[in-house]
């Protein structure tokens, strides 16, 4: 009877699993701050993707760790970039046809300084150059679409990047590839473990000049308005649990497909409590995901995706 009258439901097809792809072969390196999550070479990532497909997950969100980094984030937009290679391999594997491949579009994993855009420095002072960064971000999105990405997902938070990406995709013959914008991405302390996973910590300063102030809900709505006006097809809210009110406000205001990213810090703090026996793992995991779904997310990017799918089976 409880199931019959339940108002909010979870299902595996609404869960997206992030993968961190690294160079090499046979590599499966656990991330120390994220138990059960790994840096994976392409061959190992294929095995992980096949497991996700067998569990009925909705898709994968791909991040790359390049073999080399530079000021221009060359590995992000190179035709032989690590995510581009992974996408091509995945598209040749029919077992993965049920999975939507979402390519994160950002420069932080690929720049030598770890920022999400091009940096101009003058002694101890620095500035993220918006327009030159947007040009590289659009170039990256087009490269990922050519490699086979089903969706491109800009997470950089530069102004004007959605319009630039849309123009680059259309010019390249990829009019049907949707843009899923991290339209409301806050400067958050909950990203810490991800920066270990993606080796993307800034070498100086922080990202508050281009990510949003967590105190500003109304501003987040303006940011989403701007991205929709520029042509965003889907929205991704990040982080999730500390910003459930933002997810709810966006759900009430917009009718685009909208997901939320249960980020690394949310995952890691729950895992730490599980390991100490302070919280019941399965029950707490599912409750955390249900809260995000109840707030209004149509789908959830989460490192719990495989475990949750097994519970839901």
15-57: per-residue pLDDT in tens? 999 999 999 999 999 999 999 999 999 999 999 999 999 999 9
Report CA 301 to chain centroid distance, whole Å.
7
d(CA 26, CA 110) in angstroms, rounded, equals: 22
> Among 69, 139, 185, 306, which one carries the catalytic annotation?
185
Strand extents, DSSP E, 22-131: 28-30, 38-40, 59-64, 100-105, 118-122, 125-129
Q: Which of 129-138, 276-285, 294-303 has the lowest mean pLDDT?
A: 129-138
Residue 185 catalytic?
Answer: yes
Q: pLDDT (tens digit, 9 = 90+) per residue, 222-281?
A: 999 999 999 999 999 999 999 999 999 999 999 999 999 999 999 999 999 999 999 999
Residue 239: is the preceding peptide bond cis (ω within 30°)?
yes
What's the pLDDT at 266? 97
Q: Global pTM?
A: 0.94
Q: pLDDT (tens digit, 9 = 90+) per residue, 102-126?
A: 999 998 889 877 778 788 777 777 7
CA distances from 203 to 111, 118, 126 (A): 10, 13, 12
Q: pLDDT (tens digit, 9 = 90+) per residue, 64-107?
A: 999 898 888 899 999 999 999 999 999 999 999 999 999 999 98
> Among 69, 139, 238, 306, which one carries the catalytic annotation?
238
Burial (CB count within 10 angstroms: exposed 0-12, middle 13-18, buried 19+), residue 29: middle
């Amino acid at each position: 009877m409880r199931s019959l009258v339940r108002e909010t439901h979870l299902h595996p097809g609404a869960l997206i699993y992030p993968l961190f792809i690294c160079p090499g072969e046979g590599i499966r390196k656990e991330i120390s701050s994220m138990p059960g999550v790994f840096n994976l070479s392409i061959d190992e990532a294929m095995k992980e993707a096949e497991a996700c497909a067998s569990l009925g997950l909705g898709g994968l969100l791909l991040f790359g760790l390049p073999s080399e980094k530079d000021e221009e984030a060359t590995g992000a937009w190179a035709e032989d970039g690590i995510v581009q290679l992974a996408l091509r391999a995945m598209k040749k594997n029919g077992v993965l046809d049920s999975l939507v491949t979402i390519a994160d579009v950002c420069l932080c994993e690929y720049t030598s300084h770890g920022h999400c855009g091009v940096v101009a420095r003058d002694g101890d002072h620095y500035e993220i150059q918006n327009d030159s960064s947007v040009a590289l971000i659009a170039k990256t999105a087009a490269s990922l679409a050519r490699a086979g990405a089903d969706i491109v997902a800009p997470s950089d938070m530069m102004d004007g990047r959605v319009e630039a990406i849309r123009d680059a995709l259309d010019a390249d013959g990829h009019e049907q590839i949707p843009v899923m914008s991290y339209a409301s991405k806050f400067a958050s302390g909950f990203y810490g473990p991800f920066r270990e996973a993606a080796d993307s910590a800034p070498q100086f300063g922080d990202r508050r000049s281009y990510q949003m102030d967590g105190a500003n809900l109304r501003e987040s709505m303006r940011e989403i308005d701007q991205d929709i006006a520029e042509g965003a097809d889907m929205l991704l809210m990040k982080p999730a649990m500390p910003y459930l009110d933002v997810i709810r406000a966006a759900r009430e205001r917009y009718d685009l497909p909208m997901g939320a990213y249960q980020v690394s810090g949310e995952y890691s703090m729950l895992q730490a409590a599980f390991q100490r026996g302070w919280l019941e793992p399965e029950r707490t995991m599912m409750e955390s995901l249900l809260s995000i779904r109840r707030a209004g997310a149509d789908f959830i990017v989460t490192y719990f995706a495989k475990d949750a799918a097994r519970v839901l089976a």
